[in-house]
Chain A
Amino acid sequence: MMTFKKKTTVVLSLLAAMTAGSVLAAPPALPKDGSWGSGAGDANFDTMMQSGFQSKGIATTERLKQDPTQKLCSNPTTIYSAKNTALREKLQGENEASIKYPSNGNWLGNWKNGEKIAQSGKGLTWSDKAGEANGGNCYNCHQITKEELAYGTIGPSLYNYGKLRGNSEETIRYTWGKIFNAKATNICSLMPRAGAMGVLNEDQIRDLMALLLDPESPVNK
């Protein structure tokens, strides 16, 4: 019995190894100290970046300049290192302070508009024009309504968002903050800071809020 089990395990793990394609050698590991390798220090990297990009349309080379949050989040080895604890807390506080809550006291707009914004991935590329309304890119990463099958999975599912969480003042405020600046709650969140970076305006955020929280929204059906 034991031998059989062993054999099966070996065969199974072999199969798993084959299907996972782990015959490939592991790529070179990142240095543990947070550096990038001797040839990829700041001077060489900056030279490459400055000579390798050009402004096109609205996407100018200005965009390559990082703010302190982007800089921190660009090194996976050191984001959560102890020496960066103070910096993380400071930056998280700054991101939190950037959140502007609704000026007119209205938190929820029109969920139908919100759905359009969630669907649209347009905006701010070099092929987009200045002054056009940006999309929210939401479906790229989240499931939202049940009807839309083409949704991404980088972020959590938001289907039944309001139904599951209710619409207490706390939930509403939290949700607004998350859309406005996701890095206020999670410093290196992968979600764009839609409000803080001026991607979406206050009305658009209100409409997205309605999509998530309005009981009439298909999200909560």
Chain B
Amino acid sequence: MNTNTTRFDRRQILKAASGLGLVALGTSMVPSMAFAAWNKAAFEAKGMSDTYNALGAGSPSNSNDIQIVASDIAENGAVVPVTAVSKIPNTEQISILVEKNPSALAALFDLTADVVPEITTRIKMGQTSNVTVLVKAGGKYYTATKEIKVTLGGCGG
């Protein structure tokens, strides 16, 4: 019916992944247009540490003051609702990263002091993966991580 895959069938996985547009080609197809703010390097970085570097986050430390509100299982990887909550004082930026996506960084939010540090959005996930919320507060970076399982849906036709 849609992006049904088998964990054993590579051809099907690739097919499904390309359905979501998440094969390992990265973002090479992105037309390079100059944007004042958009952090191209961070959005094209592969893997977590390269992404942290591109964001200037170095090696962020774990924090219990960050919560990731999301279901443990997503019925479809094309739309995974995630709410990122930071209880760290002076939170100025919240980013959402998906470790196993071709480019880890999905979204980044710069908050003014008036914004409650609690952002809801929806992201794509190519497969079951750790999802990390990276918070910048008072110039320092902190993270929290949660695994979200992506399951198969439909009758697989």
Tell me, yes or no, whether B139 is within 8 Å of chain A by CB.
no
Residues of B with C-beta under 8 A to A24: none
In the A-B complex, the 6 residue pairs with the smallest Cβ-Cβ separation, listed nearest first, are A121-B156, A119-B6, A150-B152, A150-B151, A121-B155, A121-B157
Q: Are B6 and A137 in contact (CB under 8 A)?
A: no
User: A149-B151, A150-B152 are known contacts. Are A125 and B157 too (CB-CB below 8 A)?
Assistant: yes
Q: Are B8 and A137 in contact (CB under 8 A)?
A: no
B4 (CB) vs chain A CBs: closest residue = A121
**Per-position binary interface string of chain B over residues 21-63, scored 1 when its CB falls under 8 Å from any chain A CB and 0 otherwise:** 0000000000000000000000000000000000000000000
**Majority SS of interface residues in chain B?**
loop
Q: Which B107-157 residues sit within 8 Å CB-CB of chain A?
A: 149, 151-157
Residues of A with C-beta under 8 A to B8: 112, 115-116, 119
Interface residues on A, range: 10 to 19
Q: How far is the CA of A174 from the CA of B129 in the complex (A)?
A: 41
A-B contact count (CB 8 A): 44
Q: Are A140 and B156 in contact (CB under 8 A)?
A: yes
Distance between A149 CB and nearest chain B CB, rounded to angstroms: 6
Q: How far is the CA of A115 from the CA of B9 in the complex (A)?
A: 9
Distance between B154 CB and nearest chain A CB, rounded to angstroms: 8
Residues of A with C-beta under 8 A to B9: 116, 119-120
Residues of B with C-beta under 8 A to A112: 8
Q: How far is the CA of A125 from the CA of B154 in the complex (A)?
A: 14
User: A112-B8, A115-B6 are known contacts. Are A122 and B153 too (CB-CB below 8 A)?
Assistant: no
Residues of B with C-beta under 8 A to A116: 6, 8-9
Residues of A with C-beta under 8 A to B152: 139, 150
